[in-house]
Structure 1
Amino acid sequence: MQRVVVATDRSKTAERAVAWAAELAARYESELVLLQVILSNGDVDLAEAESSLHELAREIAGERGRAVVRMHADPPQAIVDLAEDEGADVLVVGNAGMSGRKEFLLGNVPNRISHNARCTVVIVNTTDGMTQPLITLSEGDEDTKVEGELFERATRIGRIIGRYGLAERAEGQTLSTAERAKRMREALEQLGPTFAKLGQILSTRPGLLPHEFVEELAHLQDKVPPLTQAEVVEVMEQELQVPWEDVFESIDPEPLAAGTIGQVHRARLEDGDRVVVKVQRPTAREEIFRDLGLLELFAEKAASRPALRELIDIPVLAANLSESLRRELDFRQEASNIERMREVLEPYDGLDVPRLYSELTTRRLLVMEEIQGVPIRDAPESEERKEAARQLLEAYYRQVLQDGFFHADPHPGNLLWWNDKVYFLDLGMVGEVEPRLRELILLLLLAFLREDAHFLAEVMLMLSDEQAPDVDMEALEGDFAEFIARFRGEGSLGDIDIGGMLEEMADIGARHRIQLPAALALSGKAFGQMQIAVAALDPGLDAFSVIGNFLLRGVGERLRDVSDPQKLFYEAQKLKVRVGRLLESVERMTGARPGGRMQVEFIGSREIEAAITRTGRRLVIAAALAAGAVAWLASTAARSGKR
């Protein structure tokens, strides 16, 4: 921190802000600039005022102190402009005028300054005789070092956000949405892993950001200088507790990848096995925990703002971010993801994950087999390649709709072709879908197949984490009808964007202020990436056929599940409880009183209605899936026959 600027009107309360700024500047040996703006309608000797203020600056800061006095009709704006001219790292102001009559008389000067300034602003509490800044730095306190680091980090964050976020106004130009999105991505990349991860999470929240921002944030990249070979070896030996030569024959000094959390190198074990090692950056944990501390402070403040809470639950977002990053900091979690994905892919002989060396894997070190393959688009033309494409598509439906565990970043760069198989790499980012959400996503797909906009709208409401406020069902249904009309009618993978379908469904829900699970948008995004990979392997693959066959097999499994009388009785008991809950929900939604008359109409075949009576909810869903799958296959076959 090089320069601290403090605004003063030479009043007693302003003296407290000046004293706090002087203490801050002394702590960091920064230059202290006292700033005074005088209204231009008075008879004031400007030179005399500046001389007096300069003496005060030298008195409290010595050679590091100086003063600037200006005459201006709009003091708050003048303070902002002068702070920028002076290159302020921190601008300190008192809180006079933030409450009571002065808030209206002065137009809330501190808030205006805080809103418009392009650097970090500290508002010091000077109105009650206490000098209480936004971030306190107390002498002799065990937390002084931590608080100082937080303040220093907050200052850097403010500078970067100001440089990217307010550059448009400074340059006097109007930027496109795409350009603003690009600047946001660049700022997040500079801010490091915590904010890069925040950008990734925001990009999966439908309706929160414009489409251009979501697309740009998908390209977030780590931009850090690589660790030296000595730093890599030091971490490895700390984790292994032995000299690296006892385990490895050699380590390639050139990194395969260098990120803000980890760095990846090729290596060879003593027994000759070729492996890749992922080493955690020594400073990653400390840097991430520091940023999480700042975000938690922000989340506490944001939680008190109802308008912002309605748009997005900031405390929940911060908690999700914290959990995600803490998991990424423990490489044993990624190792667990690899083994779990191996189980998920077991039915598919054309898909695999690298072998894991569990005995060499720790919290900060991950060792796995080197996949010596080629990008999937460079795989040799063969029947194995086409079959792998089919398996990849089906496996993703299985991951999301059956197992509830999926690779959340399956872009072609994370897939390699080797020994007639597609290998999944980088299992650090995975998604999980709880059972209820799996069923509802499946219902979304079936409603789309049946071109049932009304049911799509109903399922969207069931997906909501919270009761949606005053949803216009007619408008929601109309949006889905338009959506179906645009997407239906084409059956080839190249023409139907399945991931885009799910993402747009989420966008429609968000436009109607329906809060949806993040897993829905994340799975839609992953489907979109997977589809690009599948198209690279086999552009002519018929997606409808693959999905239909998968659904039919799933129906068979569900029907076998309920064939046992004991299981059927158990499902019937669950149905009784769930119907009770359903009726309670309907009463809440419709305002119906308990005991009132309610008419329920079943729309569909008599067979389905009979199934409801005979077997309960699970068999009904199985029958619905069968009907939907058959309808899908029939419609696809009909379209194929016309071509």
Structure 2
Amino acid sequence: MQNHLESNVIRRVMVGTDRSETADQAVHWAAGFADRYDAELFVVQVVVPQYPSATEFGEAEQTRAAADNNELAHFARQVAGDRGHARVVIDADPALAIVRAAEQEAVDVLVVGNFGMAGRKEFLLGNIPNRISHSAHCTVIIVNTAHSTGEHASDSVRAHLSNDTSPFEPPLVARATHIAAVMAKHGLTELFGQSNEPDMSIRRQRAKGLRAALEELGPIFSKLGQMLSTRPDLLPVEYIEELALLQSRVPPMTESEVVRVSEQELGVPWEDVFKSIDPKPLAAGTIAQVHRATLESGDLVVVKVQRPTARADIEQDLALLEVFAEKVGKRPALNQVIDMEAVFKHLSTSLYRELDFRQEADNIGRMQAVLADYDRLAVPRVHRDLSTSRLLVMEEIQGIPIKQAPAGPERIQAARQLLESYYKQIIVDGFFHADPHPGNLMWWKDCIYFLDFGMVGEVGADLREHLLLMLMALWQEDAGFLTDVTLMMTSAVNTSDLDVASFQREIGEVMAKYRTASLAEMQIGPLLQEMSAVSLRHGVPLPASLTLATKALAQVQLATAELDPALDPYDVAGKYLMRLMVKRMGTALNPKTFVYQSQKLKVRVLRVVEAVENLVGVRPGGPKLVVNFRANSLEDIVRHTGRRLTLGLIAAASVLTSGLTATSTVVAEWVPITFGVVAGLLTLGLVIDLLRGR
């Protein structure tokens, strides 16, 4: 660097300052540098305007700037003598103002300090050295002013960013002691030490104590409580209701922290990627913070930046929770209230998933495919080349809350599509946005945009089939069949101590309550939530994924009710189910699918026949059931029953195949006729066999 500078004539040197102590260190360095080359020294200070220049306050700012110019000129002469000059500029962008000033004064070398440029907007001031080095047309020297003041760089940064930031994380033992003290303070030792209290008022009081303790323990524990509020299968209803009131009081990240994390993830100075970043966060959460920004291409985006200590904080508290679960989770009294093993597993899985923003990007891509058939629903575009595990860059949705959507056919169409899409998400795709509250649904370009994919849910194939049957039972108002399906979903069909009649009666009452409600109150989501509560009371809780799905469906129906109060959710569900069943029948009539399903049916029928033959002892070497009675031969009865069952199954299969092939346009006419004749002959044979056995 020195050889390069000495090979050129250096007549003018400029240095930027905001008159802070560390910035003045850069001025003294620049003065010494200018003196070495006998060059002129220009000290420039940029004042960021707070008010428009035409206003009274703006004029006052200009008056103060003139006074600052006199003071700065005096300071420049102190450090550089007659070669010192001063210049105060009023500009909203200090970096570009310094570059323009350097060009106007035709300076040869521009000096800036890497600290001491603190100002109103860290996104503009904190990265002035990087921005100037990319924009200036002269030589730029960045002076490390931290060492000039005798501070270690990291200590200087810490002191500059926040006076109340602790220089070290509390030890694990100290954190554990603090948690125990807070729990004792709020009376949670009673919760963990006594049996399940039958008095609802006492349970409510303890639930409030748990909520207060989680709020006092900080953002991470508040996040844990919010997650638990979505799991009524893990906690009693009193605790669920209290935890739903939890609020994360999280202080926003400093702007320099946002820049630091962004540059660590991007691998380049943030201004190489972003033209600007709004210093005011859109949202500040436990794990991340969101800002508006503009890319160098001009695209408007939002940037989700993970807190620097998020992973360490979560891992520390999860480690303590794991120890706690091992120590007290096996107590019978506690297990009556909380399933600690399930709680810890759910929390750790959910939190680690949220720490990886790449999963959220994948969720957005997956949801885009799910919503491809709906022209009134959309998701933001993700800039994957700029997104990492700790940084997510997405298209900015410049819309309005959905309740402010203008009246018109687009709004009505969007309401129906939004509700129908949730039936599709849950029943067909098994993947759904699990937090569709109004803040996560925006109206833009005549579409509803889904935001925030940190929380999604998945439903397995078997559960989706059961849920389809459940919705059909609701549609047809069949309480008996709805009870059967509910018990199938909970794998509790053979529960000996379950009062099935009482369970069915309560399910029927819930169904009747909602089916006779007014149109505005006719919501399937809340109905399913009440059914879940009934199941919990009877000791047959619905699967966790369905619990989350019903909550999401309840939220989305509230949103659709605001968009279109006249929308009948049962009508939407019924018509969608009919289209879905017709589509499935069409798929079944596909020749390839038909051949495959017929082979599956053939294998299953053969297995039934083999099972019956093994049971009655026809097959050699197989297990035999031999029971001797003096009056009747059980072996003959079983053999006859097996034969009749086989005839009935094959006849039923033939009838079904005949019906399916009769509606197809790609199958020859003789095929359904042949299957019909076979079905008739088998049915006739079964009737004759029954008459002979009487």
Q: Which amino acid aligns with 2:416?
A: R
CA distance in 2, matches of 1:403, 1:282: 35
Tell me which residue corresponds to 1:479. Answer: 506
Structure 1 residue ranges without an equivalent (≥5): 1-145, 585-592, 601-607, 620-643
- Among 225, 228, 231, the alignment partner of 1:199 is 225
8 A Cα contact 1:160 1:187, kept in partner = yes
Tell me which residue corresponds to 1:317. Answer: 343
8 A Cα contact 2:360 2:454, kept in partner = yes
Displacement of 1:176 in angstroms is 7.6
CA distance in 1, matches of 2:413, 2:453: 23
Matched, 1:347 2:369: no
8 A Cα contact 2:432 2:458, kept in partner = yes
Q: Give the secondary-structure state (helix, strand or coil) at the position aligned to 1:160.
A: helix
Matched, 1:332 2:358: yes
- Among 587, 590, 594, the alignment partner of 1:564 is 590
Matched, 1:420 2:442: no
Structure 1 residues 236 and 452, CA, compared in 2 at 3 Å: closer, same or farther? same
Moved more, 512-521 or 340-349: 512-521
Tell me which residue corresponds to 1:149. Answer: 171
Tell me which residue corresponds to 1:27. Answer: none
CA distance in 1, matches of 2:484, 2:366: 34
Q: Give the secondary-structure state (helix, strand or coil) at the position aligned to 2:521.
A: coil
8 A Cα contact 1:499 1:529, kept in partner = yes
Displacement of 1:341 in angstroms is 0.8
Q: Which amino acid aligns with 2:258?
A: V
8 A Cα contact 1:207 1:511, kept in partner = no
8 A Cα contact 1:204 1:518, kept in partner = no
Structure 2 residue ranges without an equivalent (≥5): 1-167, 192-199, 612-623, 627-633, 642-648, 661-694
Moved more, 390-399 or 438-447: 438-447
Structure 1 residues 612 and 473, CA, compared in 2 at 3 Å: closer, same or farther? farther
Tell me which residue corresponds to 1:140. Answer: none
CA distance in 1, matches of 2:316, 2:550: 32
Displacement of 1:570 in angstroms is 3.0
Tell me which residue corresponds to 1:244. Answer: 270
Tell me which residue corresponds to 2:294. Answer: 268
Q: Count how many residue pairs are aligned between Structure 1 and Structure 2.
A: 452
8 A Cα contact 1:465 1:515, kept in partner = no
Displacement of 1:162 in angstroms is 2.9
Tell me which residue corresponds to 1:432. Answer: 458
- Among 466, 477, 491, the alignment partner of 1:451 is 477
Q: Residue deviations 1:425-455, cap 9 Å, x none?
A: 0011000011111111121222223333332
Q: Which amino acid aligns with 2:366?
A: R
- Among 402, 407, 427, the alignment partner of 1:401 is 427
Tell me which residue corresponds to 1:162. Answer: 184
Q: Give the secondary-structure state (helix, strand or coil) at the position aligned to 1:249.
A: strand
Tell me which residue corresponds to 1:258. Answer: 284
Q: So what's the TM-score if we normalise by structure 2?
A: 0.59
Q: So what's the TM-score if we normalise by structure 1?
A: 0.64
Tell me which residue corresponds to 1:553. Answer: 579
8 A Cα contact 2:303 2:392, kept in partner = yes
Tell me which residue corresponds to 1:498. Answer: 524
Structure 1 residues 610 and 354, CA, compared in 2 at 3 Å: closer, same or farther? farther
- Among 243, 246, 254, the alignment partner of 1:228 is 254
Identity %: 54
Structure 1 residues 221 and 576, CA, compared in 2 at 3 Å: closer, same or farther? farther
Structure 1 residues 614 and 290, CA, compared in 2 at 3 Å: closer, same or farther? farther
Displacement of 1:408 in angstroms is 0.3
Structure 2 matches for 1:165-184, cutoff 5 A?
165=187, 181-184=207-210
Structure 1 residues 343 and 309, CA, compared in 2 at 3 Å: closer, same or farther? same
Q: Give the secondary-structure state (helix, strand or coil) at the position aligned to 1:263.
A: strand
Q: Which amino acid aligns with 1:160?
A: V
Q: Residue deviations 1:69-128, cap 9 Å, x none?
A: xxxxxxxxxxxxxxxxxxxxxxxxxxxxxxxxxxxxxxxxxxxxxxxxxxxxxxxxxxxx
Matched, 1:536 2:558: no
CA distance in 1, matches of 2:491, 2:454: 26
Q: Residue deviations 1:614-639, cap 9 Å, x none?
A: 448x98xxxxxxxxxxxxxxxxxxxx
CA distance in 2, matches of 1:499, 1:215: 17
Displacement of 1:178 in angstroms is 5.9
8 A Cα contact 1:206 1:503, kept in partner = no
Displacement of 1:557 in angstroms is 1.1
Structure 1 residues 207 and 279, CA, compared in 2 at 3 Å: closer, same or farther? closer
Q: Which amino acid aligns with 2:564?
A: D
Q: Residue deviations 1:312-349, cap 9 Å, x none?
A: 64323322221111110001111111111111111111
Structure 1 residues 528 and 332, CA, compared in 2 at 3 Å: closer, same or farther? same
- Aligned-pair RMSD on alpha carbons? 3.5
Q: Give the secondary-structure state (helix, strand or coil) at the position aligned to 1:264.
A: strand
CA distance in 1, matches of 2:174, 2:375: 53
8 A Cα contact 1:502 1:520, kept in partner = no
Structure 1 residues 487 and 576, CA, compared in 2 at 3 Å: closer, same or farther? farther
CA distance in 2, matches of 1:532, 1:192: 31
Q: Give the secondary-structure state (helix, strand or coil) at the position aligned to 2:560.
A: helix
8 A Cα contact 2:234 2:343, kept in partner = no
Displacement of 1:189 in angstroms is 3.3
8 A Cα contact 2:188 2:206, kept in partner = no
- Among 244, 263, 269, the alignment partner of 1:218 is 244
8 A Cα contact 1:465 1:516, kept in partner = no
Which of the two has higher C-alpha Rg?
A: 2
8 A Cα contact 1:262 1:281, kept in partner = yes
Structure 1 residues 266 and 401, CA, compared in 2 at 3 Å: closer, same or farther? same
Q: Which amino acid aligns with 2:499?
A: D
CA distance in 1, matches of 2:412, 2:177: 54
Tell me which residue corresponds to 1:623. Answer: none
CA distance in 2, matches of 1:326, 1:422: 29
Q: Which amino acid aligns with 2:256?
A: A
Structure 2 matches for 1:278-297, cutoff 5 A?
278-297=304-323
